[in-house]
Structure 1
């Protein structure tokens, strides 16, 4: 018995989608220009005013000469944030805190605890006038930074002698 000859079957052809008509490729769109980089003003000796204070039990510190340098009068609204173990205080029209009537700054209890600021332990206050900021450094941060610096200087001094 002979087998009838069948035409070759092409099953793939009907399953493949038909080619789309050729369309021109869209041209490259230009990238939008980035805004110019604005560098904040450099901190200079004239724009940095330092002071020391002892926080009271209620958490307020007297900082009248720093507030004058910043131009913050009594009842000036403030925003207080903790950053890297320090308190960063800036002007804020809708701030929750304000400069006291006697030129004192509030240091909220939760922020003091986060930064390990204890009543009666000194804090270093740095008013950065060009940025309208006041930074409160706990004594532990100042001690650590000075210890690192002095260790580095002592090592450099011994190297220079040897």
Structure 2
């Protein structure tokens, strides 16, 4: 009895295969033409900063390789780090006291982190200004406050209509 049960699926499969016609050969369709895309950089985009986000590690470092590449800064590049209104300004300076680490990271001094209220694990927003050879680091809390102000104005304008 077990042998007849084993044969049933095989017979059923053969019957279904007999009902499905063989595929006919077809010529491959011509590929659709690709649309022409606009130029990747327009004049207004060149004046905008390149942006990235990073998280402060346990050693007080942030990794921003793509922005450092945009600025042309390599490991060992000397820097000057200043704080202005809870924002960190990092400039290339030949006799700067700080430098880019061997792995392409930026070590933020403890005093800078304390003045800007940046703690281990905090997110920061980085903006590279290649035309000015400048990297600006914003604490995420500062960016959130700026966006909250903007959103308040946007929603107020909407309610006034």
TM-score calculated relative to the size of structure 1? 0.71
Q: Is 1:120 matched with 2:118?
A: no
1:50 aligned partner: 51
1:23 aligned partner: none
Change (3 A) 1:44 1:127: farther
1:151 aligned partner: 152
Structure 1 segment 47-126 matched on structure 2, within 5 A: 47=47, 48-126=49-127
Unaligned runs of 5+ in 1: 1-42
Change (3 A) 1:44 1:60: farther
Report the alpha carbon displacement of residue 119 of structure 1 after superposing the two structures with TM.
Answer: 1.0
Separation in structure 1 between the aligned mates of residue 101 and residue 131 of structure 2, nearest angstrom: 22
Q: Is 1:141 matched with 2:142?
A: yes
Unaligned runs of 5+ in 2: 1-42
Higher-Rg structure is 1
Separation in structure 1 between the aligned mates of residue 79 and residue 100 of structure 2, nearest angstrom: 7
The CA RMSD over aligned residues, in Å, is: 1.3
Report the alpha carbon displacement of residue 120 of structure 1 after superposing the two structures with TM.
Answer: 0.6
Structure ranking higher in helix proportion: 2
Separation in structure 2 between the aligned mates of residue 105 and residue 44 of structure 1, nearest angstrom: 29
SS in 2 for 1:81: strand
Moved over 3 A (4+): none
SS in 2 for 1:69: helix
Report the alpha carbon displacement of residue 45 of structure 1 after superposing the two structures with TM.
Answer: 2.6
Separation in structure 1 between the aligned mates of residue 80 and residue 141 of structure 2, nearest angstrom: 23
Separation in structure 2 between the aligned mates of residue 84 and residue 44 of structure 1, nearest angstrom: 27
Separation in structure 2 between the aligned mates of residue 75 and residue 90 of structure 1, nearest angstrom: 14
